[in-house]
Structure 1
Amino acid sequence: MLKYSTYQSIYNHEMTETGRGGLMDRLPVLRVMLTRRLMLKLLLAVVIISAGCTGMVRVFAGSPQDDTQVEQVVVAQGDTLWEIALNHKPKNMDTRAYIRMIKEMNHLKTSGIQAGDVLSLPIY
């Protein structure tokens, strides 16, 4: 029989002596690690979402109509949208297209206007 051996156990002697498994001893450490990982993931998600929302707000904050210069016109008695468009549109622009722009800019659903209305007209 051999008196001396070079064999070494792969198991921790403390765990085998106490009879407890290695997982039970490491459970508090695993909880802390999982908590830290979860917090890191949540923090990363919040940063990504807030950066995305900030970018989206900047994209939708400006519109092409914001850059357009406007002229304010007060509608007089007997004025029509067609007459106002003819007097203020560029010479090379279609009157119907200019009226469409006026209606969009002033949120008009119809071409009906009344005396005293203030219209914003795009300037080109």
Structure 2
Amino acid sequence: MKRFLTIICCACLLYAGYSAVFADKPVYKEYTVTVADGETLWDIAGRHTEEREDVREVIFRIAQANKLKSKTIYPGQVLKVPLRVHDSGLMVAENK
């Protein structure tokens, strides 16, 4: 019984390690947003945050994409907002 549990535990660890190593990195597409009067980086990121995603991660991606040295933004400023591209695994034929 002990040996069986050990084998099961090892199999679970190997599977978890395999999944972590070979997981697909997310793909992002950049959209642009023009900052409105009174808008904050938190507001913009909050509108583009997915379910179960931390708004601070989105703020970090926006700051990186725009090479922001501070989190201060200005009305009229155009920001790149990286949004995750979701792939359902289905291929759709395009009619041309």
Report the TM-score range of the alignment, normalised by the length of the smaller protein: 0.5 to 0.7
Q: Give the number of aligned pairs.
A: 59
Look up the SS of the partner of 1:69 in the other structure. strand
Q: Considering only CA atoms, is the larger Rg found in Structure 1 or Structure 2?
A: 1
Q: Which residue of 1 aligns with 2:36?
A: 76
Q: Which residue of 2 aligns with 1:117?
A: 77
Letter in 2 for 1:81: L
Identity percentage of aligned residues: 37
Q: Which runs of 4+ in 1 moved over 4 A?
A: none
Distance apart, 1:88 and its partner CA: 1.1
| Two-structure CA RMSD over aligned residues (Å) | 1.5
| CA displacement 1:15-56 (0-9 Å, x = unmatched) | xxxxxxxxxxxxxxxxxxxxxxxxxxxxxxxxxxxxxxxxxx
Stretches of structure 2 lacking an aligned partner (at least 5 in a row): 1-24, 85-96
- Mapped partners of 2:50, 2:31: distance in 1: 13
Q: Which residue of 2 aligns with 1:91?
A: 51
Distance apart, 1:68 and its partner CA: 2.4
> What is the correspondence of 1:61-72 to structure 2 with a 5 Å cutoff?
68-72=28-32
Greater RCO, 1 or 2 (C-alpha within 8 Å, sep 6+):
2
- Mapped partners of 1:87, 1:116: distance in 2: 18
Structure that is richer in helix per residue: 1
Look up the SS of the partner of 2:47 in the other structure. helix
- Scaled by the length of structure 1, the TM-score of the pair is 0.45
- Scaled by the length of structure 2, the TM-score of the pair is 0.57
Stretches of structure 1 lacking an aligned partner (at least 5 in a row): 1-63
